[in-house]
Structure 1
Amino acid sequence: MDFSVLGPVRAFSGGHPVDLGVRKQRFVLAVLLLEANKHVPADRLIELAWPEGEAPDTARAVIHTQISRLRATFAGAEDVTLVREGSGYQLRLDPMRVDVFRFHALCARARAATDDRRIELLEEALALWDGPALSSVATEDVRLRVAAPLEEARLGALEDRFGAYLRLGREAEIVHELAEAATEHPLRQQLVAKLMLALHRLDRTPEALATYQRLHRRLDEELGIEPAPAVRRLQVRILRGDPSLMPFTGPRQLPPDVDHYTGRHDVLDSLTGLFGTGDRVPAVAAITGKPGLGKTALAIRAAHRLAARFPDGQLFVDLHGAGPRPRDPAEVLARFLRDLGVAGTDLPASVEERVGLFRDRTASRRILVVLDNAADEEQLRPLIPGNPECGVLVTSRRRLTGLDLRGLIHLDGLADEDALALLTGLAPWVADEPREAAEIVRLCGGLPLALRIVGTKLRSRPHQTVADLAARLADERDRLDELVGGDREVRAGFLLSYDGLEAGQRRAFRLLAAMPDTGFAAWAAAVALGEDLRTAERLLESLVDVSLLECGRGEFTATRYHFHDLIRLYAKEKLSSADRAAVWSRLTDAYLHLGKRADARLEFGGLHQFTPPPLALEAPGLLAEVDRNAPAWLADEHASIVHAVELSAVAGDDATTCQLSATVAAFLELRAQWSDLRRVAELSHVAATRMDSPYWTAYALFALGLAARETRDFATAERSFRDALAVLPRAGDPLLEVVILLSVGVSHRLLGRWDEAAAHFAGCLSRLDSLAAPRWRAYTLREYGVLHRYRGEWAKAKEFLTEAIATYEALGDVRWAAASGRELGIVHQDEGNRAAAVEQLTASRQALRDAGDGRREAATLRCLGWVALEAGDLPEALAHASQAREILSRTRDSHGLACAEVLLGDIHLALGDPATGRAHVDRGVAYLETSGDPRWRGKSLLSLGRHLAAAGDDRGARAAWEKAWEDLSRIGAHEAATVRALLDG
């Protein structure tokens, strides 16, 4: 049901009028409608219905009767309810069903809209009126008492609408209506002032002045006052012929919008949403970022979207802030003032006076100022209007941290999909070569400018294929030369930024180009620059401020710096070969010193023997922090050290190659970075062979064997370890000999050569008796204990594992104590002590999780899943195994993942879901059949046989179990007994 009170009080249902009864009943309804969804006391209704204070004794009963009749009227309406509420009543309905609430809502929307839209909304609001509010339901005195605020709101909307017409210079369309309104309300000075302005603009100045005289006379005669100061000032300005009173046709200076604009829709929405929020200060928003990102294009697109909100004009200027000669704010203000109608002869001389005049000229206007390519805050401040209805949009390569901003958007490169869309928008056939197109996107680093140049080249050179251009861009030496198209050039933007730097910044920019592409910390930059840490930090941040460097986060240092790929290429063009060599000489010394120090604090680090160069760096606290958090330092720096190994190898510096490789090898093993370990070991082996160094040869072969073993390349591992053992007698390092023998023993155990493994472990323990190396003794005990577990020798396994755990706990090594505890938990389960197994495995899992060892935590979860399966607790088994698989899928442990797949297969089979289970088992078997580990190959075939048997394939099951028996019995695994029982059953 719909209601109207802006005129006669009426109701409509489905578009048809509803009988609302006698006048007093309609009046009660009108009061309830004006207070919709609010409590209206009965006394209030009585007071208004009998305004002379002569309410009869029956007044309350009369009101109640009218309420009852209204309830009956609304009985069939689902959207209107009239209820008794305490000593009064409440009319519940959607307020938008009442014209007065729609009127207020439209007026509110109009206040936030542009003038064109404001006129539309206000005309829609005023059209709701059909005469005086509440007409036909009360005496004039009562009506005015209740409806006076509504009449004031109507006149306010009318004045606001007239004002919007005048701001748009459309006075001819409303002058007659305005004159009628001023005649009807001769004492409303705002209406009279608007009529004066309209008449003056229409060359009817005498009528405008006569209108003022009538107002003056009437106010004097009736009220004894003069017109308001603003109206008096308007009369004076009309008398003087002030040109600023005429319709303002503001500047429209926005450049054309960008063709093929792609992506950044969220950024654009956020940017435009910063304007028009009704604050008391102008909205100032900035877009910052490195050259070529499309800051100007984004600003222009946003400005075109915003233009309707700033109907009095849009100013645009390139401030040349990236170059050596940024524009003087005084010069820019002079241009702005001329554009705003100030004659050249009237321009003030000083900057301060120009700022004042600029703010005066923008004080009553809604203008958008686009300041492109700003140099700094000092250049910008004089160019910001004081009027809160103005807006300022800035682009800059600087971050502008000293400017009061409503919003700051720091741009990065386009996302790959948006970059590809931009490229294909310019040259659609690029989509036919997706691999080459993706490579072009990568090589352009997400820079819209680079992508536009490439796309335009492809469009204008149909003979050049996408593959050809991708190949040309792939060569770093020529990439910037390829990114040139007409008067557009990526290098030119970088040149402007470089030329704008101070001498110290330019030197830093050049030298930092020699840094690894993987990023660098401030201390490394200080070494490269030959500066103290504080000076280096200031230089780095100054380059970040102008968007020539970018920031990321590290594990050790909160901030790491890096170049955008194309900016790095430009910086390299400025770097001499002599400077590059000097930088790497300093960096290599630092990596050797700090790398050796960090490696010595790893669990199994500190094996290598060499004296590093001194650290030539003033960095208070760095050494202590490396000591405290060596793994995190290596996590940040290992990629750079690997790069340094490669550079040293290319330079033929064999000793440095071997030493750098040794500083990072233990960390690469700790984090399972097998490809990197293999790479540095190969380079180190070549260098050691060239030096004829038995020590470094043995060390390199050990690392090669370790990387091969952990990736299940057992042939390479066996060959590398055998060669290492051959040179060990000449290496002169008893501990290295133990470590290599231990590694060989682990390989034998994985390959099922358990007697040989036992001999190596026993030999290691014998040698360790004369060495002060408790950690390596504990590790040997652990590996020996695992071997006893495999053989079902539970007492021996517990003895060795318990001693290993005790040693690790004495050393404070929580991670390896937990890893050894995992093995002990499995022994408990194999012995049938499930409670001890769960307790031990749960504690080990938590300790490994706390230590951040995801790979071993997942292995422990897998064991907990196996224990739960054995106990028949299938939901818990599934939860543990699924979590293990999820963690392992994020690591490089393919073997562990395959083992988890086999377990999941067994669990799903037990759950009655053989199809899902078989899929898991097949994935596990596929890997383990080729892994070279006969024990796990046999165990996976044991599970496969169970699935085949459950599916009714007895022959297939028997074949799988026979293969499992062959593997497990040959090596002496205790699981062979389980297989034998199945074959004999």
Structure 2
Amino acid sequence: MLLRAIGTTLGKGLKQLSNTRVKYGSVMDFSVLGPVRAFLDGRPVPLGVRKQRFVLAVLLLEANKHVPADRLIELAWPEGEAPNTARAVIHTQISRLRATFAGSEDVALVREGSGYALHVDPLRVDVFRFRDLCTRARAETGERRIELLEAALALWEGPALSSVATEDVRLRVAAPLEEARLGALEDRFEAYLGLGRETEIIHELAEAAAEHPLRQQLVAKVMLALHRLGRTPEALAAYQRLHRHLDEELGIEPAPSVRRLQVRILRDDPSLMPFSGPRQLPPDVDHYIGRHDHLDTLAGLFDPAGRAPAVVAITGKPGLGKTALAVRAAHRLAARFPDGQLFVDLHGAGPRPRDPAEVLARFLRDLGVAGADLPVSLEERIGLFRDRTATRRVLVVLDNAAGEEQLRPLVPGSPACGVLITSRRRLTGLDLRGLIDLDGLAEADALALLTELDPRVPAGDESAREIVRLCGGLPLALRIVGAKLRSRPHRTVAGLAARLADERDRLDELVGGDREVRAGFLLSYTGLEPAQQRAFRLLAAMPDTGFAAWAASAALGEDFRTTERLLEGLVDVNLLECGRGEFTPTRYHFHDLIRLYAKEKLAAAEHAAAWSRLTDAYLYLGKRADARLEFGGLHQFTPPPLMLDAPRLVAEVERNAPAWLADEYPSIIHAVELSAAAGEDATTCRLSATVAAFLELRAQWSDLKRVAELSHAAATAMDSPYWTAYALFALGLAARETRDFATAERSFRSGLAILPSVGDPLLEVVTLLSVGVSHRLLGRWDEAAASFAGCLSRLDSLAAPRWRAYTLREYGVVHRYRGEWAKAKEFLTEAITAHRALGDVRWEAASGRELGIVHQDEGNHAAALEQLTASREALRSVGDHRREGATLRCLGWVALEAGELPEALAYARQAKETLGQTLDAHGLACAEVLLGDIHLAMGDPAAGRAHLDRGVAYLAGSGDPRWRGKSRLSLGRHLAAAGDPAGARAAWEKAWEDLSRIGAHEAATVRALLDR
């Protein structure tokens, strides 16, 4: 009868929803909260006699658990009344139930040992849905809690297990369910009282208390509701009735909590009245896109379970939408904090952050404290604020906080309260349950925001993508752009993107009405100390590729420790961001728009001084690092002294030069470009030289070409033969490795023509060596051999053992190409010995790879495999992916020649994967040719042809006649296997033309095929 009074519209709706299934087959649902029933696809199913329905009810209550047969017998025949045939009767009922379930695909009644188990999705049984809803309700507050509890109670259609057993048996089995129902009913009443909605439930509440006169918490709720409704005499009479019932039936007094409630009612305690707390949240943001993960994280962080209030912070740079995220999250969380939501802008980014005492005075007034009763001191206000929130669930939103000192007094003491903070500072000194460090919107979300703000923005439009990039994903900037496009129909997306692309005007474009990106940055800047403001300005002179603390120290002209403190201070207020480097654990960078603002604040004289100090440091450290590289140490110039107070920096750079250059080469390249643009020719040439060897080491050919071109222009402008020759050497190297042999030869020849007048014999040797490598790759092996012989002759008078070792290796490769195995082994063995003496693992292994190929060409498979395996391991140990991939390709070829096809395929696939991590397109094409050969040998020419065609297509235009010929040799084999002898012969004729012209030993193989 009580359940009829519950407003069940929502509950019935949820129940209907729970009975709605996507039908992949017939499904069955069960109810035990009332009559025991079953439904197949929503239609009632006959369940037989009462005892059979009772057995089903017990199995449903223990769904997916083992229920002993003795337990079923004991419940079905209480007090020892079971006949001798009881077990057979139970078995018969189980069999009939199985037949009933035969039409369902998701219910199984199985025998388990001496009992049975009913396997079913628990949420198809109403009792489990009831428990699930009650569990979810305990984690919610306010209206949401009421909704869930009413949905749970609406599942009840009468006494549980009605009409399936005698009343005493039913009560025995269903007693826990009835207790759970009453508990849910009490929780529902509590939720209504928590919202001050006594009028809606008073009659139902009184009826429930009358039905259960000894349930003290029900009576207490009746007393509170009556008192709030102005019916205090009735409230006290309810207490007297409870006292009398307990005394007469149990001989006890009411519980202490109920007695205290009676005293508070007698005293007319004002705290008993419903609290109408402040509702101060700003309106939610319109056109809000993205941040779903952050909103979900915030919802989880404000879980009410805990011993301390949930204190959560959202931090980040200006313009990211911290306040918008906090407001949206607060609106979602409001139901969990029914006693009020306080909101205040703490003005933390401005020059005058709000005084915590002033904020507490406002909060206390909002919580009902009269102005005359406000304490004077901060400590007293903190105490009163925590007292007033001690028994309430209040959310405090503290927007734009200045720092920990301002925040600590504003945190309530009750674990039922929550605090949501936004700040530009990272708040590392505050005890937080969670911290969300906000970043710019992802591109997809940023584009969606633009489209929502102005539907004219086409989805996926390239100009829109450019706007997103130029705005750095800042929601504020994107909103200003979107509003401009919407309010000014004559503006186009492409036109606005073009205007934003000009750095000088970008911040001027990001102004709309009273919203301006620059204004947010200004607040942060004015809040800095003078030393921090200077650092902020000067760091705008840094390359926008990121920088280490030592580089900042150089630009600022400060000692290292002072610089680190300044940098961390700017990070704390989110004006700088952090990343990681290979050499330096922490690297710093600006957000693009913040960097533009810093540039606006930077005076020309400050920029010039900072830039001069920085480039001096790059020149000094770059020259030291370059000297430690394999192909480094060629350039001749005296760098300026290092004016840095950075202990151990030089030693660390020299000890790990490749890692230092891996971090710094983008900044050095940027510095080269800026120096060239400023007409600083000498600096341009010197900076280019410090990074050239590293770019060669990492196969960064486009970058090498760029700095070499700038260096060549600068050297020409200042009429410097030396720097012209050096730039021509670098240009030739970049051209050669990208198979632009004509440019390479022209650059090398021009450099060699200048070098005799320069007086740098080592650079002359290295350039001649590079010319020889070009000849080798072009198949001009006589000219290559002459170049290498000339290098060795000149090196006899130079103390340059490393360059001698390189030359020996190259000379050995030429002999290998010609099939001159003995001479190849002689030169390669000497190269290996020389590199080993130098401790050069990489080039010892690279030379060993060439020797391994010679062994295989001589037919010594075991020696080849041993040598190549050792070389591969060494190259992997030093991280040389390019040469490791080439060695893996050789191992695949050796395995193919030996008929070990699975091993060959594994090596070739590894080679392709490894080379795919590099910029070596030529090596990748050679691996594709090998894969084609292996698949052909394995009897899968179709798969092999796909690989081969990719390799042949690249090598046809590579300018390398040897590999072009080898790829055509493989192509002929595929065509022959495919039954195209004419095509095969044409391919082999082209291969013969390439290979015989240069004298490659593979030409003999082609000739044999043509002569068959």
TM range (shorter): over 0.9
Counterparts in 2 of 1:616 and 1:114: CA distance versus 1, 3 Å: same
Report the more deviating stretch, 707-716 or 897-906. 897-906
Distance 1:914 1:134 in 2: 72
Distance 2:129 2:498 in 1: 64
Helix, strand or coil at the partner of 1:408: strand
Helix, strand or coil at the partner of 1:451: helix
Counterparts in 2 of 1:934 and 1:429: CA distance versus 1, 3 Å: same
The partner residue of 2:99 within 76, 81, 86 is 76
Q: Does 1:660 align with 2:687?
A: yes
Equivalence for 2:579: 552
Q: Does 1:889 align with 2:912?
A: no
Instruction: Work out the number of aligned pairs and report it.
Output: 978
Equivalence for 1:508: 535
The partner residue of 1:453 within 452, 468, 480 is 480
Could you give the per-residue CA deviations for residues 857-893 of structure 1, whole angstroms, max 9, x where no partner exists? 1111222222233333333333333332333334222
Equivalence for 2:669: 642
Q: Does 1:797 align with 2:820?
A: no
Equivalence for 2:44: 15
Distance 2:613 2:724 in 1: 26
Helix, strand or coil at the partner of 2:301: coil
Distance 1:142 1:21 in 2: 13
The partner residue of 1:409 within 430, 436, 439 is 436
Matched to 2:428, the amino acid is T
Matched to 1:929, the amino acid is A
The partner residue of 2:738 within 698, 703, 711 is 711
Equivalence for 1:490: 517
Could you give the per-residue CA deviations for residues 664-687 of structure 1, whole angstroms, max 9, x where no partner exists? 111111111222222322333344
The partner residue of 1:628 within 629, 651, 655 is 655
Shift of 1:798: 0.9
Matched to 2:828, the amino acid is L
Could you give the per-residue CA deviations for residues 471-499 of structure 1, whole angstroms, max 9, x where no partner exists? 22111111111110101100011011111
Distance 1:43 1:635 in 2: 75
2:50·2:163 contact (CA, 8 Å) conserved in 1?
A: no
Could you give the per-residue CA deviations for residues 112-149 of structure 1, whole angstroms, max 9, x where no partner exists? 23333433433344455566666788888777666554
Distance 1:745 1:279 in 2: 75
Q: Does 1:738 align with 2:765?
A: yes
Could you give the per-residue CA deviations for residues 19-57 of structure 1, whole angstroms, max 9, x where no partner exists? 4456xx9888877765565566788789889988xx58x
Equivalence for 1:307: 334
Matched to 2:764, the amino acid is E
User: Structure 2 matches for 1:102-141, cutoff 5 A?
Assistant: 102-129=129-156
Distance 2:475 2:168 in 1: 70
Q: Does 1:930 align with 2:953?
A: no
Equivalence for 1:872: 899
Distance 1:495 1:432 in 2: 34
Q: Does 1:579 align with 2:606?
A: yes
Report the more deviating stretch, 509-518 or 35-44. 35-44
Equivalence for 2:1010: 983
Matched to 1:234, the amino acid is L
Distance 2:734 2:634 in 1: 17
Shift of 1:792: 0.8
Q: Does 1:538 align with 2:565?
A: yes
The partner residue of 1:748 within 762, 765, 775 is 775
1:11·1:20 contact (CA, 8 Å) conserved in 2?
A: no
Could you give the per-residue CA deviations for residues 138-181 of structure 1, whole angstroms, max 9, x where no partner exists? 88877766655444333322211111121222222221221122
Matched to 2:315, the amino acid is T
Q: Does 1:473 align with 2:496?
A: no
Equivalence for 1:957: 984
Report the more deviating stretch, 292-301 or 678-687. 678-687
Counterparts in 2 of 1:960 and 1:168: CA distance versus 1, 3 Å: same
Shift of 1:789: 0.7
The partner residue of 2:361 within 334, 338, 350 is 334
1:682·1:704 contact (CA, 8 Å) conserved in 2?
A: yes
Matched to 1:976, the amino acid is A
Helix, strand or coil at the partner of 2:276: coil
Matched to 1:161, the amino acid is R
Helix, strand or coil at the partner of 1:860: helix
Equivalence for 2:347: 320
Shift of 1:763: 1.4
Shift of 1:402: 2.3
The partner residue of 1:604 within 599, 621, 631 is 631
The partner residue of 2:285 within 245, 258, 278 is 258
Helix, strand or coil at the partner of 1:973: coil
Helix, strand or coil at the partner of 1:326: coil
Distance 2:640 2:418 in 1: 59
Counterparts in 2 of 1:984 and 1:103: CA distance versus 1, 3 Å: closer
Shift of 1:652: 4.1
User: Structure 2 matches for 1:561-576, cutoff 5 A?
Assistant: 561-576=588-603
Shift of 1:958: 3.2
Distance 1:41 1:433 in 2: 64
Counterparts in 2 of 1:616 and 1:150: CA distance versus 1, 3 Å: same
1:39·1:89 contact (CA, 8 Å) conserved in 2?
A: yes
Matched to 1:926, the amino acid is A
Counterparts in 2 of 1:235 and 1:356: CA distance versus 1, 3 Å: farther
Equivalence for 1:180: 207
Helix, strand or coil at the partner of 1:317: strand
2:37·2:45 contact (CA, 8 Å) conserved in 1?
A: no
1:12·1:18 contact (CA, 8 Å) conserved in 2?
A: no
Equivalence for 2:22: none
Distance 1:939 1:554 in 2: 42
Equivalence for 1:345: 372
User: Structure 2 matches for 1:199-210, cutoff 5 A?
Assistant: 199-210=226-237
Shift of 1:553: 0.9
- Overall identity of the aligned pairs, in %: 83
1:372·1:396 contact (CA, 8 Å) conserved in 2?
A: yes
Helix, strand or coil at the partner of 1:174: helix
1:276·1:309 contact (CA, 8 Å) conserved in 2?
A: no
Shift of 1:651: 4.2
Equivalence for 1:696: 723
Distance 1:48 1:927 in 2: 82
The partner residue of 1:823 within 837, 846, 850 is 850
Helix, strand or coil at the partner of 1:278: coil
Counterparts in 2 of 1:118 and 1:809: CA distance versus 1, 3 Å: same
Shift of 1:278: 2.7
Matched to 2:695, the amino acid is L
User: Structure 2 matches for 1:519-530, cutoff 5 A?
Assistant: 519-530=546-557
Distance 2:639 2:355 in 1: 54
Counterparts in 2 of 1:427 and 1:3: CA distance versus 1, 3 Å: closer
Shift of 1:795: 0.7
Shift of 1:314: 2.7
Helix, strand or coil at the partner of 1:566: helix
The partner residue of 1:726 within 725, 749, 753 is 753
Report the more deviating stretch, 805-814 or 678-687. 678-687
Q: Does 1:235 align with 2:258?
A: no
Could you give the per-residue CA deviations for residues 373-432 of structure 1, whole angstroms, max 9, x where no partner exists? 222222223333333333332221112222232322211111222222222222233328
Helix, strand or coil at the partner of 1:287: strand
Could you give the per-residue CA deviations for residues 811-843 of structure 1, whole angstroms, max 9, x where no partner exists? 211111111111111111211222222222222
2:348·2:423 contact (CA, 8 Å) conserved in 1?
A: yes
Counterparts in 2 of 1:355 and 1:222: CA distance versus 1, 3 Å: farther
Distance 2:442 2:149 in 1: 43
2:47·2:97 contact (CA, 8 Å) conserved in 1?
A: no
Shift of 1:736: 1.8
2:144·2:335 contact (CA, 8 Å) conserved in 1?
A: no
Equivalence for 1:499: 526
Report the more deviating stretch, 797-806 or 919-928. 919-928
